[in-house]
């Protein structure tokens, strides 16, 4: 098996080649990567495994080949119709756990695979949530993930355009909107295989924030919190936009120390003099 994995990693290339080779072999064998490493003596069909390696060597994301990606310890279905959940996005859940005590209603704007909403519901068993997306195909994936994770009874999904038309208020709002500028450099793998509508947001990457921030005052309960994923150079712009809409804001970094999460809330009214 060691020789097979070494050869596969050489074909794949890149910084994660060995990891990719192991994940794909575990997928081929129907076991976990940890189990594969602990129990390497297995019957392998080299030709079938080779087909998986060829797909990866041609730039197809591992998550699309396996059909799943782990996010916040949840095994989620992934298709080309949704953005592949990434570890950086878990920063929003970490900040939510720091800042929120016990949210009852949670809103996920641009839910995609449902990753953020389902992760939050897994942490607060008393909460229910709503995921909004403009893509019917993405909503189908999110709904399936809710069933897979046993959270379907507490998660609803609806077709929509950010927060437009919503009359309910929420304790916690989560969103990973598109924030890449149209002319920004992007890996060929991402550009070719992930949905452009989930990536790009105008010439400066801020178009969707310009739509979301004006809606927050009508969507947040008193004391509620909105957490938006941002690009690592967008913190100052988000702080300015928040102030322009009467929102208090703070920027939180991801594990690499880069700006990743904008936390916004409605500041309390100052008492009259």
What is the pLDDT at residue 273? 53
What is the pLDDT at residue 218? 95
CB contact at 8 A, 111 and 142:
yes
What is the pLDDT at residue 33? 80
User: What is the pLDDT tens value at each position of the chain, 273 positions in all?
Assistant: 777 888 889 888 888 899 999 899 888 888 888 887 777 777 787 888 999 999 999 999 999 999 999 999 999 999 999 999 999 999 999 999 999 989 999 999 999 999 999 999 999 999 999 999 999 999 999 999 999 999 999 999 999 999 999 999 999 999 999 999 988 888 888 888 888 888 989 999 999 999 999 999 999 999 999 999 999 999 999 999 999 999 999 999 999 999 999 999 998 766 655
Q: Comparing C-alpha atoms, which of 158, 132, 156, 135 is closest to residue 215?
A: 132
CB contact at 8 A, 266 and 217:
yes
What is the pLDDT at residue 4? 83
For residue 139, report the phi and psi dihedrals to the nearest 5 degrees.
Answer: -65, -35
What is the pLDDT at residue 44? 80
Query: Whole-prediction pTM value?
Result: 0.90
Domains located in the chain, CATH noted: 2-58 (1.10.8), 68-265 (3.40.50.150)
Taking CA atoms, 198 is separated from 4, 45, 61, in Å, by: 36, 37, 16
What is the pLDDT at residue 270? 60
What is the pLDDT at residue 265? 95
Say how far apart CA 208 and CA 200 lie, in whole Å.
Answer: 9
What is the pLDDT at residue 269? 63
């Amino acid at each position: 098996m060691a020789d097979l994995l070494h050869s596969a990693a050489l074909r794949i290339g890149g910084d994660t080649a060995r990891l990719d080779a192991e994940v794909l072999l575990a997928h081929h064998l129907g076991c976990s990567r940890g189990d594969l490493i602990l129990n390497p003596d297995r019957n392998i069909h080299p030709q079938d495994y080779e087909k998986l390696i060829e797909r990866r060597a041609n730039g197809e994301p591992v998550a699309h080949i396996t059909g799943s990606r782990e996010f916040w310890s949840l095994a989620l279905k992934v298709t080309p119709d949704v953005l592949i959940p990434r570890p950086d996005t878990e920063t929003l859940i970490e900040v939510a756990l720091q800042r929120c005590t016990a949210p009852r209603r949670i809103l996920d704007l641009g839910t995609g695979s449902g990753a953020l909403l389902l992760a939050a519901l897994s942490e607060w068993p008393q909460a229910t949530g709503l995921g909004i997306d403009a893509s019917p195909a993405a909503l189908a994936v999110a709904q399936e993930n809710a069933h897979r994770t046993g959270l379907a009874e507490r998660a609803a999904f609806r077709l929509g355009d950010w927060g437009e038309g919503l009359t309910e208020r929420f304790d916690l709002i989560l969103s990973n909107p598109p924030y890449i500028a149209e002319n920004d450099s992007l890996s060929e793998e991402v550009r070719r295989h992930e949905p452009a509508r989930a990536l790009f947001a105008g010439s400066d990457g801020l178009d969707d924030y310009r739509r979301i921030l004006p809606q927050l005052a009508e969507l947040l309960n008193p004391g509620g919190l909105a957490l938006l994923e941002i690009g690592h150079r967008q913190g100052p712009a988000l702080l300015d936009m928040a102030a322009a809409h009467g929102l208090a804001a703070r920027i939180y970094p991801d594990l690499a120390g880069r700006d990743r999460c904008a936390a916004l809330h409605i500041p309390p009214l100052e008492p009259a003099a």
